Amino acid sequence: MFILGTDEAGYGPNLGPLVISVSVWTADRDLSGTEMYNRLRPVVCQANNKKALKSAQGSFLLDDSKKLYKGRDTAGLKHLEYALLSALRSLGRIAENASFSDLFNALRICNDQAYQFPSWEVPESTPLPIDADKSYLDETTAAFKRIQEESGIHLTDLRSDVVFPARFNAQCDALGNKSTLLSKTTLNLLKFALKNCPGETVVWCDKHGGRNFYADLLNDCFNESSEQQSFKSKSEKDNFGQLSLFDDCEKQDEQASPDFVEILEQSESISSYRFTWQGYVRTIHFQAKSDCSPPAALASIACKYLRELFMNQLNEYWQKKVPGLEPTAGYPVDAKRFLEQIRSKIDFPMDQLWRKK
């Protein structure tokens, strides 16, 4: 049984990237978030169970990133780093002396890029971790490997898609709104991950911009007629070095089967669907605040950590050009202040920096 979780960070800001991530786990059966945490305890703890951190060697917090990161003035990035770097080390995807560039290459789904990224969008060789204790990170990594063997729950993959402003703006123009962009990019990333999930699968996703209906999007992405489509680009990638959205494909004339996606429930609290893809049953839930499970929590942490590192680079780049410039998190009100202060130094198309929506 495969259990997946997705999440995003940076949906609302005008500056910086939108980051979407998916984590893939296996278990002997379908487990709720509570059951997964119970099996992984005491090594993996939620934010409301910090006492376990003191009682178990190598224990760390795994929860929604908003609960673990309160800004650089408190615990900084350390709780995000213990979870994310331990996970990637356990997968053998990064080494002990990994840098930001190594981390980005370990997470992103495509490596080719035709688009010339601004310098603040190119990961630097910043050593990691930034705030976590290196010796304790060794302990959390060893403990995470051990608890996976003991619990029978294994992390098998973790991937991210980073949508920088130029790509964000281009796809918003093509799709009409950022909610559809979020949904289609998430499903594209999910499809990438599911190709390596040869078995029954359950996926937990957060709701996308208040959307309650996902059947048509799932049908367009996963219907088997789409599997035989011919792509405009042989590499199946767009101009930004990312997997093309399924709307960018030239589909066959055959109409999608209307009963391909079974609707289990569609409501404000949860929208659930089931379909068979590549010979296996896939059940996908879109639930408000779905980050109460380890798969969704780890996806949330990967998103937040990547976005914070890219925002650090953006702030540092402009602070060198504008002395005394206060950093920004990129959200609308403060982003406008930041933009006005750097406007005289901008000598490139604005859509490379400023997200329209």
CB contact at 8 A, 118 and 173: no
Average the pLDDT over 291-304 and give the result: 93
Distance CA(327)–CA(333), nearest Å, equals 13
CATH of 2-352, one of 3.30.420.10, 3.40.47.10, 3.90.1150.10, 3.30.930.10: 3.30.420.10
> What is the pLDDT confidence band of residue 186, given thresholds at 50, 70 and 90?
very high
Task: Pick the more confident residue, 231 or 67.
Answer: 67
Q: Match 């050009």 to its residue by tokens.
A: 321
Give the other-Cβ count within 10 Å of 129's Cβ: 18
- Tokens describing residue 279: 């010979």
Look up residue 119 and give its two tokens.
């310098």
Q: Is this structure's pTM higher than 0.85? A: yes
pLDDT tens-digit map of 80-121: 999 999 999 999 999 999 999 999 999 998 755 556 789 999
Lowest pLDDT segment from 49-58, 185-194, 220-229, 240-249: 240-249
The predicted-structure confidence for 126-140, as pLDDT tens digits, reads as follows 999 999 999 999 999
Q: pLDDT at position 132, please?
A: 96
Q: What residues are paired with 275 via a beta bridge?
A: 282
Q: Residue 54: what pLDDT?
A: 81
Sequence-ordered list of residues with C-beta below 8 angstroms from that of 36, at least 6 positions apart, any chain: 3, 25, 27, 153, 293, 294, 295
pLDDT at 233 over 90: no
How far apart CA 332 and CA 71 sit, in angstroms, is 18
Q: What is the pLDDT of residue 237?
A: 57
